[in-house]
């Protein structure tokens, strides 16, 4: 790299796990213990700019217009170090990232955040990475970020111990299926237990963890087939089972991790009520209290209205299958 700064920007969307990811087979390499399947979400966007600048003595990280905390900066610097190693580069970087939705609140900011960072840092360092390589790079920071490199419907296989190159792959492009995901925000502020810590606690203490690891691939297979066949009822049923099984692991950990709030159950009840009235609407929750409801585009207005009227729902977003990561130099 010459003496002048090199910079690039990237834009990535968060994703919703339809087949849930919970548990690592290798914590050091950040490998998931179960296969997961997701839909990339067009409305939940992160934009990140990286500038390698020879005049800097240390990396400088800003997140949502403020200086990143020590912990946040450390995760970003770890990714920059991986990129620097690949590019044989010493130069420090200035990173500025904006999540256009709440950070660390169970809406997968880490997925879009590390996908955008992997792409922007690689481009700024002059690395020409395939989508697969970018996905493996993003996965080292956050397994769900590996999926956000791709648009549409995406699979991340389970990783075997020591597998350095595990990456996600696209199952179908965004136009494959005109689904909507209605995100109902039921609380504000960061989640109580971060996902990495929660997964490790489940692995070490939940009596249901082994059952979860044994059952999760079956739901992933059903969901993969349902995506191929565009079968929303089959997808929704397996997604709800996968969701409840992973929350079962979290709830039965010691100390217990309950990501739900009372209003989470109220919103779940709304979704069940819609189904009783013939709407194919299916709910999922990640490591947070928000309820995300999958339905056909033709039902989205009705589902949103029902959730907007639900006590404790503070905001809704309607999102559809979105694009993979985009880089602008
Ligand atoms: P979430 O549900 O939002 O993914 P997590 O606790 O799993 O919550 O991850 C949030 C963490 O991811 C943040 O505390 C921060 O360390 C990191 N993060 C979020 N957004 C970004 C971003 N745009 N750039 C870099 N790191 C980010």
**Per-residue model confidence as pLDDT tens digits over 37-74:** 999 999 999 999 999 999 999 999 999 999 999 999 99
Residues 19 and 58 in one domain: yes
| Ligand 1 close to Cβ of residue 110 (< 6 A) | yes
d(CA 134, CA 112): 13
Gap from CA of 103 to ligand 1 centroid (Å):
6
CA–CA dist 177, 231 (Å, integer): 10
Q: Which residues, in sequence order, are bridge partners of residue 282?
A: 294
Domain for residue 105, yes or no? yes
Tell me, yes or no, whether 108 and 85 share the same domain: yes
Query: What burial class does residue 42 get, using C-beta atoms within 10 Å of its C-beta: 0-12 exposed, 13-18 middle, 19+ buried?
Result: middle
Q: Does the structure show a pLDDT above 90 at 157?
A: yes
- Examine the pLDDT at 177 and tell me if it is beyond 80: yes
What is the CB neighbour count within 10 angstroms for residue 271? 26
147 near 36, Cβ under 8 Å? yes
Q: Do 112 and 221 fall within a single domain? A: no
**Nearest residue CA, atom 10 of ligand 1?**
104
Within-domain flag for 324: no
Cα–ligand 1 centroid distance for 111 (angstroms): 7
As a whole-number percent, the residues of the chain with pLDDT over 90 amount to 91
Residue to substitute in 110, 139, 193 for testing ligand 1 pocket (most ligand atoms within 8 angstroms of CB): 110
Domain count within the chain? 2
Q: Does 250 map to a domain?
A: yes
Say if residue 167 is in the same domain as residue 222. no
The per-residue DSSP string of 267-302 comes to HHHHHHHHHHTT---EEE--SSS-EEEEEEGGGHHH
Alpha helices in the chain (DSSP H): 70-87, 109-124, 131-141, 143-148, 195-205, 209-229, 232-251, 262-276, 300-308
Does pLDDT of 240 surpass 90?
A: yes
Distance CA 192, CA 101 (A): 18
pLDDT at 4: 53
Residue 130 and residue 220 in one domain: no
In a domain, 1, yes or no: no
Last residue of a domain, one of 153, 176, 199: 176
Could you report the per-residue pLDDT of 257-307, keeping only the tens digit for each? 999 999 999 999 999 999 999 999 999 999 999 999 999 999 999 999 999
Ligand 1 and 96: CB distance under 6 A? no
CA gap 79, 137 in Å, rounded:
8
> The CATH number of the domain where 50 resides is what?
3.30.230.10
Domain with 298, as residue range(s), is 182-319
Ligand 1 centroid distance, CA of 113 (Å)? 6
Q: Which residues contact 175 (CB under 8 A, 6 or more apart)?
A: 152, 321
Are the CB atoms for 250 and 287 separated by under 8 Å? yes
Report how far apart, in Å, the C-alpha atoms of 265 and of each of 50, 124, 247, 283 are: 41, 45, 13, 11
Residue 1, classified by CB atoms within 10 Å of its CB into exposed (0-12), middle (13-18) or buried (19+), is middle
CA angle 18–238–310, rounded 5-degree value: 70
DSSP designation for 68:
P
Structural domain contains residue 107: yes
Q: Which of 161, 176, 191 is the last residue of a domain?
A: 176
pLDDT at 265: 98
Tell me how far the alpha carbon of residue 104 lies from the centroid of ligand 1, in angstroms. 5
Query: Is the predicted pLDDT of residue 2 greater than 60, yes or no?
Result: no
pLDDT at position 5 is 60
Task: Judge whether 143 lies within some domain.
Answer: yes
Count of H-run helices and E-run strands, the chain: 9, 14
Q: Are residues 148 and 238 in the same domain?
A: no
pTM for this structure? 0.96
Q: Are residues 145 and 273 in the same domain?
A: no
Distance from residue 126's CA to the centre of ligand 1 (Å): 25
Same-domain status, 186 and 106? no
2 vs 176: which has the higher pLDDT: 176
Asked if residue 157 and residue 186 are part of one domain, the reply reads no
176 pLDDT higher than 70? yes
Residue 285 phi/psi, 5° resolution?
A: -130, 140
Which atom of ligand 1 is found nearest the CA of 72? Answer: 16
Among candidate residues 112, 143, 176, the one where a domain is terminated? 176
Measured by CA distance, the residue closest to atom 24 of ligand 1 is: 113
CA distance 224 to 244: 18
Mean pLDDT of 21-34: 96
Q: How far apart are CA 175 and CA 152, in angstroms?
A: 7
Looking at residue 311, the DSSP 8-state letter turns out to be T
The span from the CA of 208 to the CA of 36, in Å, is 18
**What's the CATH number where 297 sits?**
3.30.70.890
What DSSP designation does 175 have? G
Residue whose Cα lies nearest atom 13 of ligand 1: it is: 104
Does 217 lie in the same domain as 161?
Answer: no
Instruction: Write the Ramachandran bin of 250: left for phi over 0, alpha for psi from -120 to 50, otherwise beta.
Output: alpha
In a domain, 329, yes or no: no
Residue 220 lies in a domain: yes
For residues 40 and 96, membership in a common domain is answered with: yes
Give pLDDT tens digits for 86-137. 999 999 999 999 999 988 777 889 999 999 999 999 999 999 999 999 999 9
Q: In terms of domains, do 51 and 163 share one?
A: yes
Between 16-25, 168-177, 189-198, the lowest mean confidence (pLDDT) is in 189-198
């Amino acid at each position: 790299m010459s003496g002048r700064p090199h910079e690039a920007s990237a834009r990535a969307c968060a994703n919703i796990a339809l087949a849930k990811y919970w548990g690592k087979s290798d914590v050091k390499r950040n490998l998931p213990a179960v296969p997961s399947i997701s839909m990339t979400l067009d409305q939940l966007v992160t934009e990140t700019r990286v500038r390698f600048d020879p005049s800097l003595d240390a990396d400088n990280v800003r997140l949502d217009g403020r200086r990143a905390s020590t912990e946040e900066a450390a995760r970003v610097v770890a990714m920059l170090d991986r990129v620097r190693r690949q590019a044989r580069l010493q130069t420090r970087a200035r990173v500025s990232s904006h999540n256009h939705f709440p950070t660390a609140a169970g809406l997968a900011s880490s997925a879009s955040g590390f996908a955008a960072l992997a792409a922007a840092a690689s481009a700024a360092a002059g690395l020409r990475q395939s989508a697969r390589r970018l996905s493996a790079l993003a996965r080292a920071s956050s397994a769900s970020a590996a999926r956000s490199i791709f648009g549409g419907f995406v699979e991340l296989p389970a990783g075997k111990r020591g597998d350095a190159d595990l990456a996600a792959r696209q199952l179908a492009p965004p136009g494959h299926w005109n689904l909507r995901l209605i995100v109902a925000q039921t609380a504000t502020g960061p989640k109580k237990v971060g996902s990495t810590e929660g997964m490790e606690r489940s692995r070490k203490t939940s009596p249901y963890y082994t059952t979860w690891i044994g059952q999760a691939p079956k739901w992933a297979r059903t969901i993969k087939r349902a995506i191929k066949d565009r079968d929303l009822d089959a997808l929704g049923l397996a997604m709800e089972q996968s969701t409840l099984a992973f929350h079962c692991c979290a709830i039965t950990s010691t100390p217990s991790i309950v990501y739900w709030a009372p209003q989470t159950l109220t919103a779940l009840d709304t979704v069940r009520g819609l189904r009783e009235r013939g709407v194919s609407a299916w709910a999922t929750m990640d490591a947070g209290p928000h309820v995300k409801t999958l339905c056909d585009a033709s039902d989205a207005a009705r589902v949103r209205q029902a959730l907007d009227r639900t006590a404790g729902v503070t905001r809704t977003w309607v999102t559809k299958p979105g694009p993979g990561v985009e880089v602008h130099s």
